[in-house]
A and B are shown apart, each in its own frame.
Chain A
Amino acid sequence: MVQYTNARLDASFAALADVTRRGVLEQLGRAEASITDLAEKFNMTLTGMKKHVGVLEKAGLVITEKVGRVRTCKVGPDRLEEATAWLEKYRQLWAERFDELDRVIEDLKQSEKLAGRKQRE
């Protein structure tokens, strides 16, 4: 299971490591689009866009469907959340620790103030 999970996360992260592909994903999050639409929008050749969509599709982030002569792309189910889920867990752990650290820092600031006041007295 761990291996299987890692392979899936690998593909997702690799797919998301490119700014154009993140843009495509964002775009598809708003509406379905054909590869031609996407190539125009991102000012890219059809071949270039096909490659990007191919990577996203392999990672399961995007699914495509050929209707007549047009290949339509849309966001794949669940996979984006999966790729970001463990990072979000990690973030939550650190957010929790840092909120606690805020309290420690407040105490330190208070005792510094007190010490400063005593010195002046």
Chain B
Amino acid sequence: MKNRTTVERKSERELVVTRTFDAPARIVFEAWTKPDLFKRWWGSKSMGMSLQSCEMDVRTGGGYRLVFNNGMAFFGKYIEVTPPSRLVWTNDEGGDGGPVTTVTFEEKGGKTLLTMHELYPSKEALDAAGTGAADGMGELFGELDEFLVTLGASGGRA
């Protein structure tokens, strides 16, 4: 049985994703901080996306750079690295509009509750991310834009 992933827009500027993993925190943390392991899961099969390269200097002040098979690059800096409980990094590919991502790993009874918190500089930046203008999920949210156009055309009430 797969554990449930939840996403919540906590406020105008925050998104929170949670998921429990059936392993101790040090193992989950390892999968987030070793490039060869990270590469194996940070893609999206349904979107046909995989990581072509993955450089991570996982220490406070260290940088990272992820490049997908379609050429899209994501980069930023680790601003806090506390094994095995906390990771904080910036997302700089979108200029000033990128969020700060905080991932916490809380171990309880051999399982780990993972919480990924994204804090955007403004409400507008988060809205823009949602429609694909500011972050790299253009493809994903491009589909959504189409969907909304369809809705707008059929609804017409607004």
Contact = CB atoms under 8 A, between A and B. Distances in A.
Contacts, number: 123
B45 interface: yes
Contacts of A102: 2-3, 21-22
Q: Is the interface of A mostly helix, strand, loop or mixed?
A: helix
A94 B41 contact: no
A97 to B, nearest CB: 6
A13 B13 CA distance: 12
Given A60-B157, A93-B137, A104 B44 contact: no
A108 B30 contact: yes
Interface residues of A, number: 40
A17 B123 CA distance: 13
B5 A101 contact: no
Given A5-B131, A100-B40, A104-B37, A109 B7 contact: no
Contact of A13 (B7, B9, B137): B9
Interface string A84-99: 0111111111111111
B72 interface: no
Interface residues of B, number: 53
Given A101-B41, A105-B31, A108-B30, A86 B141 contact: yes
A95 B6 CA distance: 8
Contacts of B42: 97
B15 A90 contact: yes
A52 interface: no
7 contacts: A4-B152, A82-B148, A86-B141, A91-B17, A92-B46, A94-B116, A104-B40
Interface of A: 1-2, 4-6, 8-10, 13, 17, 60, 76-79, 82, 85-105, 108-109, 112
Closest 4 pairs between A and B when the two form their complex, measured CB to CB: A100-B41, A95-B5, A91-B7, A101-B41
